Structures are given as C-alpha cells and as structure tokens.
Amino acid sequence: MAIYRSDQAQLTFAAEATQGADSEFIQGEAETSSAGSTTLSASVTTGDRTITVASATNFVVGSFIRIGTVETTYANTKTEHEVRRIEAINSTVFTLDRPLAFTHPLNDDGSAAEVVELKGIGGTTAENDNSKYITFIPGVYASVDTPDPEMSIEGRHFLNTQSKRNWSIAYSGQQSFMGSVGGITLINGWPLRFPIGSVTTTASTLTGDIDLNGATVKGAVFIVVDGTNADSCTVGTYIKISGKTGALTDGSNAEIRRVVTIKNDVTKTSGSASGSNVLKLNYPLQLAHDDDSDVQIASGTYTHTINETNELDTVSWHVHMKDSSEDDDKDFDRRYLGGMIGSSTISAEEGGMVTMSWDSVNFLNMVHNQRNQETVAAGGSDLYTGASPTANMPRFALMQTIDSDDVGMPGHMSTVTDANTGVGYPTTQPYYFSEGTIKFFGKEFARISDFSISISNGEEPRYYIGKQGARARGPFEIREGPREYTMAATVTLPDAIDADTAVGASDFQSGALELFRQLLLEGDYGDSEYKRGFTCTIKFERGTNDYIIIDIPPEVDGTVGSPTEGTDNTNQLNKQGIFITSANHSIGEGAAMQVDLNMMFRSLRITIVDSVPVYP
C-alpha cells in the first residue's frame, strides 16, 4: 500500500506583495455551461479583497474566477492574471477568498480585464509552469511544523434537564495558523531578510542606458522599457531596476530580475527588445519604482543588502507531498498564506555550519487541493453548491503543484515555451563556523566557540469583523509589535594583558578582562549623559566575493566588515550599539576561562555577496 512519507515532502516559499496574497499565473480552463463571464468595472490594486464587475450573471458563491486577461501578445499592455474563489456576492461586488496579488487597472481606452469562471487549471502547460513563483527553498532543512489550522471549538453549557453537568452543544470559535522551520543550513541568504526587512540587490558589472517607461508597483511581473540601449534586454538576461537614472548608486531600492519574454511573441527564445517594449520578468517585483527609473544589464557577482523596515514582507509557503507510489493523482498540496516571521534565530558553533531557524511564523490563511469529502451533505446551507468545479471542502483552491523540477529561482528554462526546469537546489557549499570571524568593539576575537542571534518581532494576529468565507475564521491581518534583538556567545578569554602598561595601546580592548570591564561599564564611557554601547561584526566567508556580513549596529561612517567606534555610535537617540547584560566569569574545569555572554542591541544590517542574482 502507498503511504505518505516525510522524506517525500517539499517546502518552498516566496515573498508576497501584500499580506495573504500568493502570486501565481494560471491560464485556466473556462466553464462553458452557464458560465459567468464579465469584465472589471473598476480598477483593483494589490491587496484588495473585493472586485466590482460589470455583470454578476451566472456567477455563484464558490465559483473560481480568473481575474485578468490572458494574452498571447503583450502589445504594450500589462497582463498579470490570477485565480481566486468567490466567497460572497453583493450585487456586482465579489468578495474573494484571499487578497489580490496583482494590480488590474482599467486601460486608457476604457477596456478592462476579464473576469471568467473556471472549471480547472487548463491552459498551456508550459505557460502555466513558467509562471510559478513559490519555488524558493529556505536552505537545507529536515523538518517543518506545518501551520495547519488550530480550531477553537467550544462546548457551551445551557440550562436544560438533559445536560447532566456536560456541555450541551459545541460551537466553532476562531482559527489560528502557526508554523516553524528549524535547523535550516544556510546555502545562500534567501531566508535571512524576512524577520528583518527588505533586500536590495546590485551587481558588480552594470551596463546600458535603459529607462523604465512608466512607474511600477510592488508585485508587478510586466514592465515597459525604452532608452538608447533597450535592445540590450535580450531574453535570458538579468536586469537591475533602481531609482531614477543617476541616483541611488549605493544600490538602495534596487532589485534584479531575469527577462523571460519580450513583447508580441511569447515563443521567442532569442532576440532583443527595441523601442518601447513590454518585458515579462521571472519573479514579481518586491519594490515600487518611479517612471524613468534606471535599468541596466547586470552580471558578475551580486551584493544583497538586508535593511530593517517598519513593515515586514510576508511569505507564502507551499508544501507538496507525494505518496510512496508517486501517483500524481494522490499529491497532497497545502499552501499557507500571509506568513510573518515573528521570531527567528541565526546561530553557529565550533565545528559546525551556520544555521537559521524560523522559530514562529503566524499565517492568515491556508488553501489546499482536497476538493470533496463524501459524507458532506449536498446542498448544505453554508457549502459551495452549484459552483464549478464541484468542491465541497472549505479552503479548497485551484492552484498549481510545485514539483521538484520547479525548485529554485523561477523562470529558468531552456526555451520560453518549455516547461520550467528550475535550477534545482543550490549547489553552493554551506557557510561554516570555521570560516567566520567575529569582532567586538572593532577588535577580532578568535576564541568564540558559539554564538546565537535571536530576533523577535512581537507580532500579533488581529481578528476583525468581516466576511472571510465558508468556515474561515482566521486572522484578518497580522501586525508587527516592538522589535527585540538579543545575542548569546561563548568566549574563551584571550591572553592576559598588564593593564598598567597596556593603557592606550591599540590592543587593549582585546585583553582577557575587557568583557568584564564592558559588563561593569554598561556601555557608558563617561563622555556623555547617555550610553553608547559597542559594535560587533560577524563574517562568514566561503571564498572570493562569497560571504555574509552581519553588522551590529549598521555602520553609516564605518567600513563594512571593520566597524569603528565613534561617529555612528554617539550619544544620539536611536544610535546605540550592543550592551552586555551578563558575562559570568565562572571558575571551573578547562585550560582557559570561558565566559557565557548575553547581550542586547537595537539594530543590525546583513550584507551578502554571492553569485545568486535574484533574491525573494
């Protein structure tokens, strides 16, 4: 008998343009019998949970609809499309099962995107397959705590003669979704940014004078370019999109994407753009860009900078399981939406590899591929009846399977018309503790045996009054709370230094008793009425132009990798560094004294340099 095995399961993820909105193109197979077909009557934007249509005729609650026109030519229009389920109909306003991932504007000529009832995924296999975006892996992992809904079902006591002290009836309460992934061995920096903020990317080699023709929104897959070197945007090239031309040379507000297709010919496998052109990108934009923003061809090595943001991007998870017989009809797929990485840990220890854990991830919603349950009564008052395709299970959705050949950066294929072959699991080596260095107060400490950085975002799921759909009582949104960082490290004390003769020497802070002094000073060095704290830099280097640097706090005037005390760690508000909260100099066995350090700090920045152009 075939069974479901954990070792035949796969977790992939992607960033969301807005909380709870999974990004994916599905062409869809239109329903032909008494099907609903209409157009939008008003523009909708990323994150909207309702749409207004020209006519609601033949649409029923439970229907799956494709929003957005599928075109085989791009003709200077943007053609993002997506599939959602109707959960409520009020005249010509449809409430959807989850927020929209894309913006669907009305065109200048008054034409509007299609809204078509579907009975299946349908369409062209290759085109569907090349529009899967939830394909990134967090690293090498062995287990996943899946955020299946936790049901709050409450037994209520009523006064009645048959109660006999037992509750009389059970009612459903709120639902919650909490998951985690532990012990992720980092093989690139893909999972690092989500508990912290945004990632911006630039390349070591940038060429071409190309402009963005029209502003873009977060989540867009299609962009229009023009300019002197627009014909350099050949299929398969990587392009950097950033602020306005000539600005933001530090790479901020910059991201890199691969050109998948070019205007007017989806079968084109070579050639280039010319004039004003619509390009399809391999992954939705995670930043908004102004009209006339700078576009350049990118190659070489890539620098990814992770900076704190007030509002965190959320993630979609897709869990794909096959049974031991590998029968496609028995695939078990679940997709979790609106995941906010609430708490996370980055750690390493001597002789081991650098690992990361997504310790707690709150989600808004989930969908799955289990259509029907045979004991569910037909025609039930709160079920989806009369909808196509036939499905009576809450949270069922038309969605694509993320196969093993989809894993990796999306949009990598041998030709545009081929099914997505992906790049597979990254082949780079992990980051090792033995290849790392750590500096306190700008001085390298070679005798660190382990460290752990903990990040907490104090997130809170919020439940509001509002229509969510049949039997859906999950959170409406998740909000960030106060952010807190802590760090723990085990340090073997360096060589002793004579304090009387070492005062003022450059290596004084590397002395064996400096950690004890810093504990007592509490980051207050007597040069102001405020505490200053000190700096820390952690670096893991795999090779030339291949490393991760964690700067605590982010240096403005210092050199990345070699932070300096002074101008940035002043007594100004929001400028403080690390503070030691405990440093127990215990006496015990061992050739050299070890100290267990516990520290707190207010901010950090992570910089990754590698050969991976696209970060989620």
Q: Tell me the domain boundaries of the chain.
A: 28-120, 197-308, 433-447+493-610
Phi, psi of 24 (to 5 degrees): -170, 135
Q: Which amino acid is at 453?
A: I
The series of mean pLDDT values per 10 residues for the chain, 616 residues long, is 79 95 90 83 93 92 90 62 92 94 79 87 81 92 90 84 83 89 93 95 92 89 85 87 57 85 50 62 92 92 94 95 79 94 93 92 93 71 68 87 86 58 72 79 75 94 76 86 94 66 48 79 75 83 90 60 42 74 82 84 93 94
Asked whether the domain spanning 197-308 has the same topology as the one spanning 28-120, the reply is yes
User: Residue 421: how many CB atoms within 10 A of its CB?
Assistant: 14
Neighbours of 166 (CB within 10 A): 8
Spatial CA neighbour of 523 closest among 532, 515, 536, 511: 532
Map residue 329 onto helix, strand or coil: helix
Residue 589 identity: E
What is the full DSSP assignment across 257-285? EEEEEETT-TT--S----SSEEEEESS--
User: What predicted TM-score, i.e. pTM, was given to this entire model?
Assistant: 0.89
User: Parallel, antiparallel, or unpaired for β 605-610 and 546-552?
Assistant: antiparallel
Q: What is the pLDDT of residue 594?
A: 83
Q: Alpha-carbon distance 31 to 128, whole Å?
A: 18
Secondary structure of 71-109 in HEC code, one letter for each residue? CCCCCCCCCCCEEEEEEEEECCEEEECCCCCCCECCCCC
- Residues making up the chain, counted from first to last: 616
Residue showing tokens 């400490």: 445
**With contact defined as beta carbons under 8 Å apart, do 300 and 203 qualify?**
yes
CATH of 197-308, one of 2.40.30, 2.30.30, 2.60.40, 3.10.20: 2.40.30
d(CA 464, CA 456): 24
Residue tagged 């037909």 (tokens): 378
Q: Reduced to 3 states, what is the DSSP secondary structure of residue 510?
A: helix
Fold for 28-120, please state it: Elongation Factor Tu (Ef-tu); domain 3 (2.40.30)
Quick one: pLDDT at residue 168? 84
**Cα-Cα-Cα-Cα dihedral of 381, 383, 385, 387, to 10°?**
150
Nearest Cα to 16, choosing from 357, 330, 302, 312? 312
What pLDDT, on the 0 to 100 scale, is given for residue 507?
Answer: 47
Query: Looking at residue 434, what is its pLDDT?
Result: 79
